[in-house]
Amino acid sequence: GPILGSLQFPQSQFLTFCSIGFPQIVDFSIAEAKDALLPRLVSFARIEEVHHAPIDSGSAQRLAEILTTKHVASFSNLSACHFAADQWEGQTSADRFDGERLLRIQGVYFTSFLIALSVRFSIHRFLEMAAKSTKDASTVWREFTTYERTIPLMELSRREPVNITYRKAKQSMHMEDAKSALYRLFRDTQTAEEISRHRKVAEQTSATEHRLGLIEVFIVTVYSVELVHLFGQSLEFEHPYVFGGMAVVGLLALLTVLVHHKEAISGEIPSSSVGKEPPLLDTQESNRSYWLLGLAIVTLIAWLVIGATNFRHPKLEQLNTICKCSAANNLKPVESQKISQ
């Protein structure tokens, strides 16, 4: 009957497993038997209607699996069908297991078909889990690898005909295609998560560089202004001239640092640079910062030279002159006393 999602995968169509017995005279290796019975076998496996157009004998032989001369099977995505003929006649057949042959097929071969069906539902379930991203991709992948180690994906029984029907059932259910899709989905999901992690790290790095760039701009500007102030005080420049020098040199220092840290100040990350090396400043931007630095140094030197020649504080100069004169007057009596002695 219909299986409605008890294994997390809704199956709205009928799934059937049938086994049909034939007398001992039937031999599936004979060409006449193949032409007559194998198309019917494939029709049963596909659950086709009575009036459905029959399949040709050549295609039926490719779709059917001849296990022995007395046993053939065919599988589809919806069903499995076995044709089995008696191996003996008369009392010999009654004494042997011909009477229980179909029951054995229903027990042994149905088990392999049921295991293949459960593997199919499980793989589809993992596909849904990976597609919906209800869990981390690595967690789903770990669960799938654990499941893949515990289930018999290759061999099922010591009897080769059972293994053949098991592999044929998986092939008819497109199991390998589902596994390939699952591997591809895991790979794409992990790649997307890796890109997302790289983007987050890049954004955090950019934000940190932005904050450090602002701190560096503040520190360099303050130190430049304070350096001009110290020079002005030590060389006794006029106060308006000192304030002007502080403004000009501080502005040049600010522009130099802003140009040098252009990308860090902007705080933007181009999407194409995620996971790659950060782009370097081009030659023009780098030369621009060097030119500004050189201009700031030349401006500071020119300010010192002009200030030393034209903008010395007048009161300080008068005070220095008075101090020098008083010092000279104090030295004259001492020198005369030494001469008299």
- Report which of residues 61 and 97 the model is more confident about: 61
Confidence of residue 219 (pLDDT cuts 50, 70, 90): confident
Query: Is the pLDDT reported for residue 308 higher than 90?
Result: no
Range of 156-170, 178-192, 255-269, 323-337 with top mean pLDDT: 156-170
Q: Please tell me the least confidently modeled range out of 46-55, 149-158, 198-207, 270-279.
A: 270-279
pTM: 0.51
Q: Provide mean pLDDT across the span 137-152.
A: 73
Q: List, in sequence order, every beta strand (DSSP E) within the chain.
A: 2-4, 10-14, 16-22, 64-68, 71-75, 79-85
* pLDDT at position 196: 83
- State both tokens at 205: 């790095």
Q: How far apart are CA 155 and CA 159, in angstroms?
A: 10
Give residue 251's Cα distance to chain centre. 46
Q: How confident is the model at residue 90 (pLDDT cuts 50, 70, 90)?
A: low
- Is 69 or 285 the better-scoring residue by pLDDT? 69
pLDDT band at 3 (very low <50, low <70, confident <90, very high): very low
Write out the two tokens for 330.
């104090």
**Confidence at residue 25, expressed as pLDDT on a 0 to 100 scale:** 87
Query: How far, in Å, are 66, 78, 105, 165 from residue 42 at the CA level?
Result: 12, 12, 17, 14
Q: Is the pLDDT of residue 7 over 50?
A: no
Whole-number pLDDT of residue 4:
40
- Give the span between the Cα atoms of 4 and 1, in whole angstroms: 9
Euclidean distance between CA atoms 110 and 92, whole angstroms: 27
End-to-end Cα spacing for the chain = 139
Q: Bridge partners of 237?
A: 312
Summarize the confidence of residues 298-322 as an average pLDDT.
71
pLDDT value for 242: 82
What residue type is 341 in one-letter code? Q
100-109, 144-153, 278-287, 292-301: range with lowest mean pLDDT: 278-287
Higher pLDDT, 167 or 13: 167
Tell me 271's DSSP state: G
* Residue 287 burial (CB count, 10 A): 11
Can you say whether the dihedral through the CA atoms of 25, 26, 29, 32 is positive or negative? positive
What does the DSSP 8-state code read for residue 161?
Answer: H
Average pLDDT of every residue of the chain: 75
**Dist CA 113 CA 93 (whole Å):** 28
